[in-house]
Each structure stands twice: as C-alpha cells, then as structure tokens.
A and B are shown apart, each in its own frame.
Chain A
Amino acid sequence: MFKYLFARSEDIPEGSAAVYFGFSAITWFVIGTGLGAFNASKLAFPDFVTGLEFVSFGHMRQVHVHAVIFGWISMAFAMAMMYMTSALGNTKLWSEKLGIWNAFLWNVGLSLGLTLLWSGMTSGREYSDFPWFIDLYIATFMTIPLGINVWMTVINRKTQGIYTTNWFFASAVFMVSIVFIVGNLPEWFHLTGLTEAYLTWWFAHNVLGLWITPVAAAIAYYTIPKVTGNPLYSHRIGHLHFWSVVVFYSTPAAHHLMSAPLPEWLKSFASVEGVLILVPAVAFVSNILLTMQGKWNMFVENLEIRFTVTGCLMAIPLNMQGGFQQTRAINWYIHGTGWIVAHAHLALLGFSTFLEAAAVYLGLQTLMKRKLYSLTLGNLHFWFLLIGFTTYWVSMTIAGLIQGAGKIYEVPYIDVVMAEHPYMIARWIGGSLVFVGNCFWLYNMWMTARAGTVIPEGRMAHELAYER
C-alpha cells in the first residue's frame, strides 16, 4: 500500500483505499478486543499482572475504548464509505490517493494518540480523553479528509437521486467533524466546571448518535439490498429514519448526567428526547427486516446477511434499553453500574460491529475480486463473536442489577464487589472469545487475499459457492 502514497492518482487501482482501511480496521479490532479481554482479566483477578505502571488497568482502559471506536469502528466506516459511496453514485471514488493518505495518517495518528493515552497523557474527559492536539489531528487529518472524499464522490455521482446510504454518509461525516470541534471546546478554550462536564457528555452522546449509529445503519441499507437482490422496502421509512436521527438523536446529551446538578429543564428535555430515539430505531429495524422478505434463507446461508441481520436484531434490545434506561424512573437504579457497560457493548460490539463486519467481509471480497477463503473460519468468527458478546452482555447486565440493588439499599460496597466476582470472570471469558474470533478473522481475510478463488468478471462474491 505504501508505494501508492506517492503514485499518480490514476495509477492507483480502484478500491485500494478501501482495502487499506479494511485491513487496518480488522487489525485494530484484534488489538482493541485483545486489550479489552486483558483489562477484563484484571477486574476478575487483580493480581494477575501487577506492579508495572504500563499494564495497570487505569492506563489501559481508555486505550481499549479508543482502539475500538477510532480504530475498528471508524476505520470500518471509512472502508465502507470508500467503496459504497462510489458504487451508489455509479462512479469512482473522487480520489484514491486522498483515501490512501487518509488511511495512512489515520493509522499514524491513532498509534500516536493511543501511545500517549497509554502513558497517562490524557485530558481526563471520558470519550474525549485525547489531549487537544490529538483531537486537532483527528479533525484535520482523519475526519475532514474523509468527509471531503465522500462529499466530492456524492457531488460527482452519475445518478440523479442520492440513495439512503449516501444521505447518511454525507451528513455523518459532516456532523462528526462538527461534534469533534464543538465537543472539544472545553479543551480549546479551557472551559471548566459543569460546562466542561456537560460538554464532555455532549461529545460522548453525539459521537455515538451522529456518527456510529447512523453510519452503521447506512451500511445495512447497502448490504441487505445488494446481497439479497431485494430493493429497499421503503424509501419513505428511510426518510423518517434519517430525519428523526438528526432531530431526536442530537438533543438528549444531558441524560448522561441525570444525577448531576444540571438545570432541571435540560434534564427533563433530554429525557423526553431520549425516549424519542425509538422513532429512528423502529424505522430502521422494520425497514431492514421487511427488505429481507422472501430471502430469509440467506440469513442461514450467507455470512454477510447473517452478520447484518443479527446486528439489526440486536438494535431492538439496544434501543429499548437506550430509550428507557435514561428516564428518571429507571436511571436512578442503573446509573453508573455494569448495566451501562453492557448497554455500551450492545451498541458497539453487538449492533454496530456486526453490521460493519458484514460490510468489511463484503467489501474486501468484492474489491480484491476473491471469494472468502474459508466459510468454516467465517462461521467460527460469527459464533465466537456472538457467543462471546452474549456472555459478556448477560454477565454485565446481571452484575449491573446487583450493583443497582447494592446502591439503593446502601449495601457496603465490598459486598457488591464480592457478589460481582463470578460475573467478572464470565465477562473476561466472553471478551476472550471475541478476541479469539477476531484472530480467526484476520487470518481468514489474509488468506482470502492470498489464496481466495478469483471471482470472474461480472459476478458477485455471494454468487459463488464457499469452498472450505
């Protein structure tokens, strides 16, 4: 890939940027989940590796979070954008060279940022932990160049209308840049106190609501119709989904701080808007599942469809939790407990990851023109991810309910820690399964590039039978 950094744009094979992003994303996924599993082991067995500053839990937790959000999820998004935007515009990516540089600078910046975080150089703000110069780097060399490439590809499209997926892509790359710049105002201007706390959660809420959730959904709007051959069930419901994301998902930031002394009107407003997140959620899930009509056999037979539909199904519990857990009636019980950790993993490791994994599987096969090397490894990947995640989610939800009960009945905290111990072990086992599954995936994709059956001109990857 590095040889293309200084090649002329027309000499770079189509799809190179997407392939570069795709393999980077998988590699960060292996790293991020490996760190997650290691961190989980320390919560189960605190003396496992001890006495070294750089492998202490407090130094590694944020590295895990940022490796999966900005490494795995966001690079998988960029990968999907690099090939879906142009395919849906019936054109080429605006600039392969910009894409290659984008992926290269993304890896460089993320490696640097994670190294600094690991060493303890942090702003001390959850989800915007990077020091401000790394935030500036992310906006300048990661999100804005990606946005330019996506926007120019949409503008130079050869179709009259713009398909659903591309509305989401174009608006999300714009919104994530705004969220980055506004959400880091406390660091640019050294804002303090409640303003700082509120903006920290404004960022955390919107980076999920205006970047991860809509882009993940947009990917499913491409994958399902493309692989099943069915047209999208309803363009109108797509509209409803899009506009309700912009209106309802951008407002409830304050519901993350329901127990803090923020203005009461703001908390009530955020809570009501938070329930309305169910509107885009219902629109999305129904639209995707109805598009599957007549092709449900592919849920069993095709790996990409299986991943995507599983992700969509996980959006149902995700949004039922998300809509209601932030209301005062429920939030007082579960706020700050493992329930929230389970919910966050349902969003990122359940819903979103399964949709992106499908996009990366589909994209890499299509762009490299090679059929997936091994269905067996693909199946192992799917089941390790699903069983690992489910183990994690169930154990953390139970641990969260124990913590919640301990909290409201004012049980001595150490009794809560002791009661949670078995669930911490389960959490570690679940995380380790996810990590092992991802190692299979990286190997499988590497072998697909080297030894996958060549897909003949004019055929699509899913039309060929699996061979192993």
Chain B
Amino acid sequence: MVNFREYKIGARFFGLALGGSMTITLFMPSFDLRNVNATEVALDKQLWAGHESGFSLDDPFLTGEHRPVRVTLKTDPKTGQPMASTVAYVYPAGTPLPNGVDHPDNLGNIVEQLSRDKGRIGEATKSQGAVFLLSSEPQGDGSKQFYIENASATKGWNPEEVMKAAGDENTYHASYGKAIFVREGCWWCHTLLPEETQDWQVFGAPPMLGDFNGESPTAFGSDRKAPDILHVGSRNSSREWMMLHFFNPRLVQPHSIMPRFDYLWGPIDDKGQKIDFDKWRAEYNEYVDGKRVTPPEVPMYASNSDARALIDFVLSLK
C-alpha cells in the first residue's frame, strides 16, 4: 500500500518544496555572508571575546576556564622600555584561539590574506599560547585595512611576559565577562542590537555587516526589557556606577526591575574579608523603610571575582 501512486508524486513534490526552501533560505545567503570582510569592530571583538562565549568543552560550566584577556601595555614586554599605549590580546597556553585564526573563511578574503601573510597568524598554536594585536595597513584611498597580527611570531612576545608587563590594573577579563553575560541571562533583557530604523540617538549606531565575523554566540536578544547595551561603554564608563548597579540596581536607579547580582561578588571582598550579605540586606531594607538615611556601603569586589569580569566586559562594549 506504500506504493500508492499519489504518494509517490506527493513525496517527490515534498522533497522539491522543502529542498527549494532550503536552497533559498540557507544555500543562497551563505554566498553573501561568506564574502563579508571583518571590520575593525569584529576583529577587536573576536580577539577579546575568544573562541566561544557559550557552552564549550574548554569551559563547560562557563566559569572562566581557558579564556583570553585584553591588556593595555605601557612598557615593552621584552625590553621594559616605556612605549606608546598598546592594546594586546593575550591567549595563555591551552586557550582556544580566536575564530579568525583557527577557522578558515571567517575573516573575508582581504583580511584573511593580510592576517596570514603580514600578521603570521598561521604560526599561532593553542598549546603554546599567543599574543595578538589589532594592526592596520594604509590603503591607497587613505583608509586603513585592519588585520590580526600574531605578536608572538612578529615581535617574539610570549603570554606570561605580556601579562606581567601589563599588571592586574591594566588587564580586562572581558572574555569571561561575556560568558557570564550569557550564563546569567543578561541578554534576555539587554539586547546587543540597536535597530536600523531607530535607536540611533539613545543606543548608538546599529552594527554594520562585517561587525560580527568570528563572534559566537552573537546573543542579539529578541525581547528587550532594558536598554540596549551594544555601546554602553561609550555612554557610561564609570566602574563605581557599574559596581553599585550590579550589587543592587535600585541603589542608582530606584525604578529599575533588574535583578540584584550581588552573588557575583562571591564570599569575600577585595581585602579577603567575608561579605555579610544578610547584614547588608537587613540594613538595605531599613534604608528602604526610611529608618536609615543612607544605604549600606557596597563591598569592593575581589580582583578575581565574577563581578570584576562582568564589569570589564560591559566597559569594553564601546
């Protein structure tokens, strides 16, 4: 009965219909998307965000294992001599390399060729680690073409020396911060996509075609219940404000409906003292009830806490 003639014809038409729809919606756009050249924004983002910000075998519980850091160098890591402030992206040994480096067809032809020939990205390995720079080459028309430079190959910088030369205060854990952004579900309310038709004045310019190459996940968000934060670092660069806002958003914005993220502080503050959350909440409730004039002091986060990484991430969204 399977060989009923109508069903043979129907099955073929079904294949044609579904195959046709897949050709149009998957195969054809892939040509457009493959030809996109990565912009400066995309190169910077994939270098600080690293290989993957969601679940991966390198960091299955999204707790910050095997993540790159972004540093600002003021001295040459080799010679110790002062130099012009330079941003470097440090991938310690064992950290998966950024997507533009270990994935073919990710940066677009022009950027990929420059990064390979001039930037020597082919010489970077996960087992040794690497330090990357965002470099540019002047073009004939006066513009600049950006590419990835593997400073471990071109300058002989190794990850440990660069981290040491930069110091903790010039190190930004934005990659881990983005993983926390995904893990804690910040993107369920804060979108990363100012819209093309409006949003320009408040949330800044919408992203361009080449601004995403190498980013995973893009986490645009679809259900905006809070301000778009793609450019939040340009609007507000205050660490103190961010710290108060994460600990309890109602401290800086009484009408906010954002959850408190005080648990990202972990058990201890920056001096190694245990944080007494119950006492803090009790005193805060007294403040809300009008029994205190000022809210209790927000403890300073430890330099290896989740709160620090998340603030590093938010401030890198320029």
Interface residues of A (CB under 8 A from B): 42-44, 46-47, 50-53, 56-59, 61-62, 119-126, 131-132, 155, 157, 160-162, 171, 175, 178, 182, 186, 190-198, 200, 202, 243, 246-247, 250-251, 253-254, 256-257, 259-263, 266, 269-270, 332, 335-338, 340-341, 403, 407-408, 410, 412-414, 417-418, 421, 424
Contact = CB atoms under 8 A, between A and B. Distances in A.
B126 to A, nearest CB: 14
A104 to B, nearest CB: 26
A57 B185 contact: yes
Given A123-B54, A259-B193, A50 B259 contact: yes
A263 B187 CA distance: 24
A266 B217 contact: no
B168 to A, nearest CB: 26
A178 B122 CA distance: 36
Interface string B244-262: 0000011001011111111
Contacts of A266: 25, 28-29, 32
A39 to B, nearest CB: 10
A58 B186 contact: yes
Contact of A418 (B187, B219, B255, B281): B255
A414 B255 contact: yes
Given A194-B36, A256-B222, A261-B209, A417 B215 contact: no
A251 B222 CA distance: 20
Contacts of B62: 120-122
A418 B222 CA distance: 20
Nearest to B216: A192
B42 interface: yes
B222 A340 contact: yes
Nearest to A121: B55
B251 to A, nearest CB: 12
Contact of A336 (B195, B263, B281): B195
Given A122-B54, A246-B17, A59 B185 contact: yes
Contacts, number: 224
Contact of B33 (A47, A122, A182, A198): A198
Interface in B241-283: 249-250, 253, 255-263, 277, 281
Contacts of A243: 13, 17
B195 A198 contact: no
Interface string B56-82: 000011100000000000000000000
Contacts of A200: 217-218
A52 B277 CA distance: 11
Interface stretch (B87-95, B155-163, B200-208): B200-208
Given A120-B61, A122-B54, A340-B223, A190 B184 contact: no
A418 B220 CA distance: 24
A196 B103 CA distance: 14
Nearest to A201: B222
User: B interface, how many residues as a size bin?
Assistant: 35 or more
A353 B52 CA distance: 36
Contact of B55 (A123, A161, A337, A414): A123
B106 interface: yes
A124 B187 contact: yes
Contacts of A47: 250, 260
B57 to A, nearest CB: 10
18 contacts: A43-B257, A46-B250, A61-B188, A122-B183, A124-B54, A124-B217, A126-B222, A193-B214, A198-B29, A198-B33, A247-B17, A250-B17, A257-B220, A261-B206, A337-B224, A338-B223, A412-B202, A414-B253
Contacts of A119: 61
B8 interface: no
A9 B77 CA distance: 71
Nearest to A60: B185
Given A259-B197, A261-B206, A192 B99 contact: yes
B17 A259 contact: no
Nearest to B196: A259
Interface of B: 1-2, 4, 7, 13-14, 17-18, 20-22, 24-26, 28-30, 32-33, 36, 42, 46, 51-55, 60-62, 99, 103, 106, 182-188, 191, 193, 195-199, 201-202, 206-209, 211-227, 249-250, 253, 255-263, 277, 281
Most A Cβ at <10 Å: residue of B1, B30, B42: B1
Contacts of A50: 259-260
Contacts of A131: 54-55, 60
Contact of B193 (A52, A250, A260): A260
B191 A121 contact: no
Given A121-B55, A121-B62, A257-B220, A193 B212 contact: yes
A43 B189 CA distance: 11
B257 A46 contact: yes
Contact of B259 (A46, A175, A253): A46
Given A46-B256, A58-B184, A413-B227, A261 B217 contact: no
A50 B216 CA distance: 30
Given A51-B281, A124-B53, A202-B26, A250 B18 contact: yes
A417 B250 CA distance: 13
A188 to B, nearest CB: 13
A261 B208 contact: yes
Given A122-B54, A336-B191, A263 B198 contact: no
B230 to A, nearest CB: 12
A259 B260 CA distance: 30
